[in-house]
Amino acid sequence: MLGLVDGNNFYASCERVFDASLRGQPVVVLSNNDGCAIARSSECKALGVKMGQPIHEVPTHIRRQLKVRSANFALYGDLSGRVVSVLRDLFPAVEVYSIDESFVSFDGIPADQRERVAGQARERIMKWTGIPCCVGIGSTKTLAKLGNKRAKTTDSGVEEITGDHQLQDFAVGDVWGVGRKWAAKLGAEGILTALDLANTSPDALRARYGVVLARTQLELQGVACGQLEESEPDRKQIVVSRSFGREVVELDDVAQAVATFAIRASEKLRARSLSAGGVWVWLDTNPFKSGAKQYHPSRAMQLITPSADTREVLAMAQALVRSMYRKGYAYKKAGVGLLDLSPCGTQQSDLFASVDPRSTKLMAVLDQTNRRFGRGSMGFASAHRPKPGQWAMRQEHLSPSYTTKWDQLLKVR
DNA sequence: TCTGGGGTCCTAGGACCC
DNA sequence: TCTGGGGTCCTAGGACCC
């Protein structure tokens, strides 16, 4: 049996841990650039703010009642790790599925003890981290996810899916793996509930929707298609992209943003002990601005040998942005991707390319320095920090990084 | 004024090979 | 009139997830 433990309104709950004035209040956390609602407290949902809704579309009289926060991923990531460490103490195996969700194994826990252990996990997480969460239990991941959905509406915060009779209570769109498009298409064919989906003809489903939904159907029937994965599989690509706080016109500014993203992507690469075989850069004008000239160039290049050296990634990213940049457009977003990732030290080297043996050491010093003194303490001239009002993203409602920055610790008078 | 970011997998179609 | 069969690789697009 599997459980899914999911932090309720996770980012909003994180903001409340250290700021008691937010408790009981309608809290909304905004995406980067303070654009869209990406987490809402229950009070905020009750006011009608939708997931993903651009905050400027929320009527002013509602917006005035909201406690608004800019996304603070340093804080959320740290609290997420603390939740996971509680789970690792209580369960024989844990798969960290996302920043706010983990699958856990109930192996070795008697059936009549599951709800008690799940309840204990909830209590301990609440007590030790301040994050409220719910637990869904089922024989497959898909059923555990469904149970979690129901658990959110119960007092106990724990729900086990034990049989088909429960499936009819869920709309087909509630099922993990059934998104908006497929829910509409299935609905048009009369498949309206999770039970309908479980009972429909497998061959027709496979033909019309492909193997992904066919697997989901099996999981609803209790046939596990995905196991608990305790170790994270290696990444296939690493992407860093941001919208700009304002439109950017000049090549130097666009190039500076791309340099910043390339440096960050290289850091993420080394943190996972990977090397990149290629670099990919793209630029975007503002698609929401009707009448503005649009331009969405995208270009990739292979490195001669896979590398984790920021200098090589940076040089290639700069060459790419310069080759794509066109004067006369207002750029709103850019991104850098690292492709063809492979574990460090396993690559085939080029017979004629010499690898700089000092590279690994230099990058290690760079990373250590930035870990110790803060990101960007040691860097590259091509990515010097943007002046306020330049391309830097807007974060007007950012809370302190209470748990990850010494100078931002909570002060208790 | 204002519209996120980071991933995965599958499928179809074209180019190319023998 | 008639025009094979089987395979790989790559890319673009679409679906999904958080």
Q: pLDDT tens digits for A207-234?
A: 999 999 999 999 999 999 989 999 988 8
Q: Are residues A195 and A270 in the same domain?
A: no
- Please, what is the angle between helix A358-373 and helix A251-271, to 10°? 100
DSSP state of A285: E
Q: Residue ranges of the alpha helices (H) in A221-293?
A: 251-271
Q: Are residues A92 and A195 in the same domain?
A: yes
pLDDT higher than 60, residue A27: yes
> pLDDT-derived band of residue A346, with 50, 70 and 90 as boundaries?
low
Q: Are residues A154 and A276 in the same domain?
A: no
The spacing between the Cα labelled CA in A238 and the C1' in B18, in angstroms, equals 37
Q: Write the CATH number for A214.
A: 1.10.150.20
| Confidence (pTM) | 0.93
Number of C-alpha atoms within 13 angstroms, CB side, residue A61? 0
Is there contact between A400 and strand C, defined as CB under 7 Å from any strand atom? no
Is there contact between A212 and strand B, defined as CB under 7 Å from any strand atom? yes
Write the single-letter amino acid at A222: G
**Tokens describing residue A88:** 């690792």
Nearest to A4 by CA among A135, A185, A172, A146: A135
The spacing between the Cα labelled CA in A152 and the C1' in C5, in angstroms, equals 56
> pLDDT-derived band of residue A335, with 50, 70 and 90 as boundaries?
very high
Q: Are residues A207 and A278 in the same domain?
A: no
Averaged over A351-376, what is the pLDDT? 83
Q: Are residues A353 and A292 in the same domain?
A: yes
Nucleotide nearest to A241 (CA to C1'): B5
Per-residue pLDDT, A352: 59
Nucleotides of B under 7 A from a protein CB: 1-11
Q: Write the CATH number for A322.
A: 3.30.1490.100
Number of domains in chain A: 3
pLDDT higher than 60, residue A121: yes
Number of C-alpha atoms within 13 angstroms, CB side, residue A81? 7
**Tokens describing residue A297:** 């160039």
Nucleotide nearest to A287 (CA to C1'): B3
| DSSP codes of every residue in A121-138 | HHHHHHHHH---EEEEEE
> pLDDT-derived band of residue A376, with 50, 70 and 90 as boundaries?
confident
> pLDDT-derived band of residue A148, with 50, 70 and 90 as boundaries?
very high
The spacing between the Cα labelled CA in A412 and the C1' in B8, in angstroms, equals 44
The spacing between the Cα labelled CA in A326 and the C1' in B17, in angstroms, equals 39
Q: Are residues A266 and A378 in the same domain?
A: yes
Pairwise CA distance, residues A371 & A70, whole Å? 23
Q: Write the CATH number for A18.
A: 3.40.1170.60
Nucleotides of C under 7 A from a protein CB: 14-18
Per-residue pLDDT, A344: 81
- Which residues 270-289 of chain A have a CB under 7 Å from nucleic chain B? 286, 288-289
Pairwise CA distance, residues A325 & A336, whole Å? 14
**Pairing status of strand A331-339 against strand A2-7:** unpaired
Per-residue pLDDT, A14: 97
Is there contact between A314 and strand C, defined as CB under 7 Å from any strand atom? no
Is there contact between A33 and strand B, defined as CB under 7 Å from any strand atom? yes
**Tokens describing residue A265:** 């992507």
For chain A, how far is it from start to end, CA to CA, in angstroms?
47
Is there contact between A56 and strand B, defined as CB under 7 Å from any strand atom? yes
Q: Are residues A71 and A195 in the same domain?
A: no
Nucleotide nearest to A210 (CA to C1'): B10
pLDDT higher than 70, residue A350: no
Most confidently modeled range among A31-35, A66-70, A298-302, A357-361: A66-70
Nucleotide nearest to A181 (CA to C1'): C15
Q: Are residues A69 and A87 in the same domain?
A: no
For chain A, percent of residues with pLDDT exceeding 90: 79
Is there contact between A413 and strand C, defined as CB under 7 Å from any strand atom? no
Nearest to A42 by CA among A152, A176, A158: A152
Is there contact between A117 and strand B, defined as CB under 7 Å from any strand atom? no
Averaged over A59-82, what is the pLDDT? 96
pLDDT higher than 90, residue A197: yes
Tell whether A313 is covered by a domain: yes
Nucleotide nearest to A100 (CA to C1'): C18
> Which of the listed residues A75, A101, A132 is the one where a domain comes to its end?
A75
pLDDT digits (tens, 9 = 90+) for A272-285: 999 999 999 999 99
Nearest to A118 by CA among A100, A102, A106: A106
Strand ranges across the sheet with A2-7: A94-98, A101-105, A2-7, A133-138, A158-160
Q: Are residues A47 and A90 in the same domain?
A: no
- Which residues 180-199 of chain A have a CB under 7 Å from nucleic chain C? 180-183
Q: Are residues A356 and A251 in the same domain?
A: yes
Tell whether A233 is covered by a domain: no
**Tokens describing residue A92:** 């024989």
Mean of per-residue pLDDT scores for chain A? 92
Is there contact between A149 and strand B, defined as CB under 7 Å from any strand atom? no
The spacing between the Cα labelled CA in A240 and the C1' in C5, in angstroms, equals 45
Residue ranges making up the domain that contains A46: 8-75
Is there contact between A98 and strand C, defined as CB under 7 Å from any strand atom? yes
Q: Are A30 and A69 in contact (CB under 8 A)?
A: yes
